[in-house]
Amino acid sequence: LFARKWLTAGQMALLWGLVLIRLAMPVGPESSVSLQNLIQAIGQRIPTAESPVEPWRPVIHESPAAAHLSATDLKTPDFNPISESESNSVTTLLPMFTRSLSSILLFLPLIWLTGALCLLLYTVISHWRFTGKINRITASAEERLLQLWFSCCQSVSFHRKVPVVVFDEISQPAVIGLIRPRLLLPVDVTELDENQIKLIMLHELAHLKRRDLWVNWCLFGLRLLHWWNPTYWLAASRYYSLREQSRDAMVLRWMKQQHQNQSQTDCSREYSELLLTLAQRPDAGSRWRISLPVSMLGFLKNPLRKRSLANRLKALRSATVKTHPVQKATILAVIILVAASGLTDADYPPVEKAFDENWLSQLDVDYYSHPSPAGPLILQVFDLTRPLNKIREVSQITADQARRNILLLVQSQLSMQPEPHPIIDRPVAKYQGQNYLIVRAPESMQDEIRTLSEAWAQSGMGPVKLTGIELTSLTDVVDQSVFADLSQDPVPVTLKQRLKLPDESTQTRAEKEQSPLRIAVLTAQQKRELIQKVQNQPNHRETYGPHLKLFNGQKIMQSLVYQPLTLRPYVVRVLEGNPTQSKLKTMLFEEGIRIFLRPTITADQSALHLHTIVQQSEITSEKTFKTHIAGKSVSVKSPDVTTKRCQANVKLKNGYSLLILIPPATKSKFYHYLLLETEVIEKTDAP
C-alpha cells in the first residue's frame, strides 16, 4: 500500500529489477550496510534451543579414571520406555531415508541442467521460426501508417530507422529485434483511427527508447539459471507488469506535451479505451507466441492479461501526477539505500596480517612442535613364551604363524613413531632364538610393546571391532545419574605440566564432580533410547563412523566428525639477529577433541576392558603484543589454551556401548555424544 501510494510504476519496477539483479549476482561487494549483516545479527539473537540442563563452565578440570567399572556398577538413565519394534523401526528407517535423500540430491544438478537445456532449445527454436516467418514478409508501404510512424518518431526524438511490418498471425502490436528492430502490427489495426494508432506506436517507441528488448533477453538468460526458483517468477512477473504501467505513463506524458490545450483526463480516458479495445480483440491462436518481443498487452494468457489490464487501468489515474521535489529526493535516497543493502554482501572483519608476505619471506621461520618424548634408542629383550602359547591356544594356529603375527604387529607399531629417527638409527625388532624378541626403540615404544605383550599373554591376539555413532544436540538429553563416579587414576606429572592441568590438591570436591567430560556404559536398549531422544531434538545431527578392527591391546586415536582436531600455528618466540637473520619460532597448538582407546580382552574371552582417555583442547582467547623483528614493529598473537581431560577403564560385554559426553565449548553450542560398541571377534587373522 505504501509503494502504490508514494511510488510510481517505474520506481516500483526498478525495485523489483534490483531483486532480479541480486538473483544474477552469486556474490557481491562487501559493505557495512548490507542486509545480510542485519539478518546475521537477528539470527544470533534468536534462541535456537532451550538452555542446557547443566551449563558448561569454562574452567580447567581433570577427571581421573575409574578402576575397571562394569556395566552393573552404573545406574540406568531414566528414559521413556519404547518397544523393541519401535526402536528397530526408528534406527532402520532413518538411515534408509537419509540415503534416499542423498541419492536424490545427487540428481538435482542433472535435473536443473535438463530443465535449462529444454527451456533454451524451446525458446531459441520458437524464436528462430517466428523471426524467420517475419523475415519473409516485406515491410509495409501504406502511406498512412508510415506517416504516422514517422511523426511519432520525430515527436519523441527517436532517429533509428525501424520498418513497419503488418503481420496476420499476431493479435497485439509489438516490437521485435535487437539489432534491427521492427514494429509488428496486426492486419486489422488499420480499422482504428489515427489517434489510436498513434497511441499504439508511442507505446512501442517507449519500449524501444528504454531498450526493453535487451532487458528481455537478459531476463531470459536469468530464467535459464532460475527456472526452478519461485522468487524469480514472482519478481519477473511484477517487473513486467510494472514496466508496462511505466510505459503507459510515458505515453501520457508525451501526449500531454503535444496537446497542451487538452486535459489530462481526456488523454487518460482515450488511452484506457484503447487498452479495452485491444483486450477485446480475439486471440489469433498463433503458435509463435513467445515472451521475447515486447507487445502492447504482452503475450499472456487471458486470465493473466485481464489482471494486468485492470492494474494498468488503475495506474493511468495517477500516471501524470506531478510529485514534489522533496518526495522525489526521498524516494531516490530510499532506492539507493535498498540497492546498497540488497546488492552487497556482509562486511566481514578483515583478517589481521602480522607480517608482510614479501618481508616475511626474507626471515628464517622455524616451525616446530613440542619436543618428542621418544628419547634415545635403547635395547630390550622380551620373553614371548606366554604370549605365544596363549595366541596358539586361542587362535588355533601354529607357533610359526603366531611368531610371524607378533613380529608384523610390533614392526607396525615401531613404524608409527611420531618423529622418526634418521634412517641409519631407526627402531628395529627381530627374533633371537624361538621365543625372545629383541627390540631397539625409544623407551616410550618399549612400554607400548610391553603393554601389548601382557595383553597377549592374558587373552591372545584376538581382534576387536569398534563401531562408532556420533550424535549432537542443543540440549543435554542424558540423565546425569548414568555417569560413573570416577575414582583416582593419576596423570603423569610431565603430561600434567604440558597440558597445564590444575593440581588435584587445589581442586575442591565440587570441581572434581563437575567434570565437563563424562563417560558411561549403556545397554543396547539404553543406546536405542538415547538415539531416539537425540533424533527428537531440533537441529540434531548424527553420523555413523567406520568399523575399526584392532588387535588385543592395540591403542588408537579417535576424533570427532563435528568437532575435529585441528592444528593452529602461532609465533611463540622471536630471536632477534641482524636484519636478514631474524628467526621466528612457531608452535602448532591443538584445538578439538582427541580420544585414545585401548581394548584389552578378558582371560575368559567374554568381555573386554576399554581404557579410554578423552582430551579436549580449546583456544579460548588470543593475546596480542608488540615486538620488533628485523627493525620493524609487528604484532604477535599468543593463544590461551584450555585443556580438559577425562580417563576411565570400563568393562564392556558384547552388546554394551561406551558413551562419551562432550558438552558445549566456547565455539560450539552442541552437546556431542560418541557411542562406541565393541565386539570380540572369535577368529584371528594375520595382522
Which of 336-345, 357-366, 414-423, 531-540 is predicted least confidently? 357-366
The residues pairing with 569 across neighbouring beta strands, listed in sequence order, are 588
Q: Burial level of 608, CB count in 10 A (0-12/13-18/19+)?
A: buried
What cell does 575 get? Answer: 630471536
The predicted pLDDT at position 292 comes to 53
pLDDT, tens digit, 9 for 90 and up, residues 158-178: 999 999 999 888 888 999 998
The predicted pLDDT at position 283 comes to 60
Number of domains in the chain: 1
What cell does 329 get? Answer: 529526493
The residues pairing with 30 across neighbouring beta strands, listed in sequence order, are 345
Spatial distance between the Cα atoms of 115 and 101, rounded to a whole number of angstroms: 21
The residues pairing with 629 across neighbouring beta strands, listed in sequence order, are 632
Alpha carbon 563 to chain centroid distance?
A: 15
Question: For the packed helices 9-24 and 230-258, what is the interaxial angle rounded to 10 degrees?
Answer: 150
Alpha carbon 13 to chain centroid distance?
A: 33
Residue 178 lies in a domain: no
Spatial distance between the Cα atoms of 335 and 315, rounded to a whole number of angstroms: 21
Spatial distance between the Cα atoms of 661 and 658, rounded to a whole number of angstroms: 10
Query: Helix or strand or coil: residue 26?
Result: coil
- Residue 256, C-beta contacts closer than 8 angstroms, at least 6 positions apart: 262, 264, 267, 320
Nearest to 542 by CA among 669, 659, 661, 675: 675
Q: Are 520 and 652 in contact (CB under 8 A)?
A: no
Question: For the packed helices 212-225 and 84-135, what is the interaxial angle rounded to 10 degrees?
Answer: 150
The predicted pLDDT at position 563 comes to 76
Which of 192-201, 401-410, 565-574 is predicted least confidently? 565-574
Nearest to 656 by CA among 539, 563, 527, 538: 527
Question: For the packed helices 443-459 and 385-395, what is the interaxial angle rounded to 10 degrees?
Answer: 40
Question: In this model, does residue 674 exceed pLDDT 60?
Answer: yes
Q: Are 456 and 552 in contact (CB under 8 A)?
A: yes
What cell does 21 get? Answer: 539483479
Which range in 67-81, 345-359, 446-460, 641-655 is most confidently predicted, on average pLDDT?
Answer: 446-460
Would you place residue 128 in the very low, low, confident or very high pLDDT band (cuts 50, 70, 90)? very high
Residue 407 lies in a domain: yes
Phi, psi of 242 (to 5 degrees): -70, -30
Element (H, E) at 414: helix 399-415
What cell does 314 get? Answer: 488503475
Q: What is the mean pLDDT of residues 577-587?
A: 61
Residue 42 lies in a domain: no
Question: In this model, does residue 514 exceed pLDDT 60?
Answer: no
The predicted pLDDT at position 577 comes to 54
Residue at grid coordinates 563424562: 518
Q: Burial level of 28, CB count in 10 A (0-12/13-18/19+)?
A: middle
The predicted pLDDT at position 94 comes to 60
Residue 244 lies in a domain: no
The predicted pLDDT at position 360 comes to 41
Phi, psi of 487 (to 5 degrees): -95, -175
Between residues 619 and 586, which one has the greater pLDDT? 619
What cell does 3 get? Answer: 509503494
Q: How far is CA 27 from CA 33, 222, 235, 292, 343, in A?
A: 15, 15, 19, 28, 9
What cell does 108 get? Answer: 538435482
Average pLDDT of the residues of the chain: 77
The predicted pLDDT at position 667 comes to 76
What cell does 365 get? Answer: 621461520
Q: Which pTM was predicted?
A: 0.50
Residue 99 lies in a domain: no
Residue 490 lies in a domain: yes
Q: What is the mean pLDDT of residues 613-628?
A: 81
**Size of the chain, expressed as the number of residues it contains:** 687
Residue 670 lies in a domain: yes
Residue 20 lies in a domain: no
The residues pairing with 652 across neighbouring beta strands, listed in sequence order, are 608
Q: Write out the residue range of the structural domain in which residue 573 sits.
A: 62-89+358-680
Nearest to 419 by CA among 371, 359, 380, 385: 371
Between residues 516 and 598, which one has the greater pLDDT? 598
